[in-house]
Structure 1
């Protein structure tokens, strides 16, 4: 009796499948990305297979499961979320079961009882088909994510190339959504500061905002390249991603906004220098725009240690002298103003400046002596003194 009911529904598919397609598209609006004619054809094929299996009392064949896998892969390429795809299957099978039950009721109690005995077979079909769809969908998604990660990495690598604005890089930038002639801004951090899953969380946050943001990990560094996004938004997202419960904030370098792909490469150089300075200072994010001189020199700190070493050694041994130099520079080069900031007598500030001059050979009351002193204090920070 059930086999005749299934044959009857197969004969009705030319009118039944369009109704199911309409219900799916109404309940799952995202299916609008699938052309309606294509969608209707796929629904017809899937329901024909299900009804034919119920008629014969067989499970899905390998060929049928392969066809379902191809459909799942196609839906992934079309950008439908997997929950939407699986939801559409359940809608189709729900409506089909309801239609079968209505047909059985018309045939009488015996037909209803016989159909009820097919529940296990029916739901086994659903389980096997949706599993095939989900597996294929996830395989495509993993492949696409891997390809996208490779594009991110290649773009960041291109920023270190001799000619980052070559044709291949321009094409890659466009593929990632950038305007190659637009304004870029680079950020650099340490991959070790990212918690597990942090990179994906940052990418998801960035994807909800304006503009384009690419973030990847390469060579132990966290590299971020943005366009059309205020740097404060990027920094807040990064801060939430690499936020620490205690201790200083994670060091980050922020490059200047620069035009074109060559400018993007320069912005990464800015960010590298700013990150080096942030690592020296242990003081969170450093903007190249604010500390451009120190950032430019920070990556040369090992070489400059022979030049600036006297100030660094003196600051570490006598942090109160370093504090006097900094206060003197920060308060208009007036000892009385520096004294008020340090809560000491003005004569104490004068003594400490003289003592700094004696130990380093640099007089902070001269241009050269002050420049050397401040660079040494910026590049080789000493312990803070109240």
Structure 2
């Protein structure tokens, strides 16, 4: 009688390890954990990481888990793209390495925590972590090599020098020395418009860079954001889906403060702003004065939101509709018709929502200028971060 074939089954500990890798690969929150670790390691990075950064981290994690569970050469296409992209955005190599190390370390920490919780033996976890770390070392090498290759290309067209001079002038010398600003037409007695953009995609940055610099000055990525000092602003303004913030012309001695103001305005009216308030295109910082000034006081914004809107429940979707309708109402001069048109609602729907909000919070039918500021700020900041 023929013998049945021998089936080699994984040992229970191997089953547990495979299950752990599959769990990590399917965990959508893992990407957020790693992105936060990367951002914390790079203090010059924007407070809210760009979708491009999140996409890159997700792709790198997916490639790593795939390499862990199959034989053959790992895939490093996304790693190379990420490294070249950081060079194009003017991110210093030290910051790039800090971010990669932080992300790698966070993955190892999470894997250890999950492995212990799953009861995987220490020796099995050690072998798995060594494999994971070897992949991390190879990934880091690919990122850095692509970064350096891109930097060599930048040096050939003097873009690297433009990045260096802007880091020196806009970051108050924190970026290290750089070439003589006069080489790029920037002189101590001159006055220049400072600008910053929240563009994140390298191709979008290249396009904006040429458009903003066509009337002179220096425009280049600085620490992951497009920045510049130009004697004249382009007219007409370039069409773009990004937000570009500009200041009136200032002397080079005031450039660091002007740039810091641009960054605050970007956070207030760009990526960190509520969806209905985000701006695109070119805007003078004076036109964003309200949002910029209020963004500088996040704690006061939270206190005000809690005080005036304590009757609203952050977990109630209808209450979110009430708050967004009231915010639109204030943004449109407390006009029912304009608010209804902007929200694509019937005026009676707007009127009903405002009445319900008045019942829940005590919002008055008519507001003074200062009362309008307080309610607008509270609505724009609701729900306060403390409730999350």
TM-score by length of 2: 0.45
Looking at CA atoms only, which structure, 1 or 2, has the larger radius of gyration? 1
Q: Could you say which structure has the greater relative contact order, defined with CA pairs below 8 angstroms and 6 or more residues apart?
A: 2
TM-score by length of 1: 0.45
Structure (1 or 2) with the greater helix fraction: 1
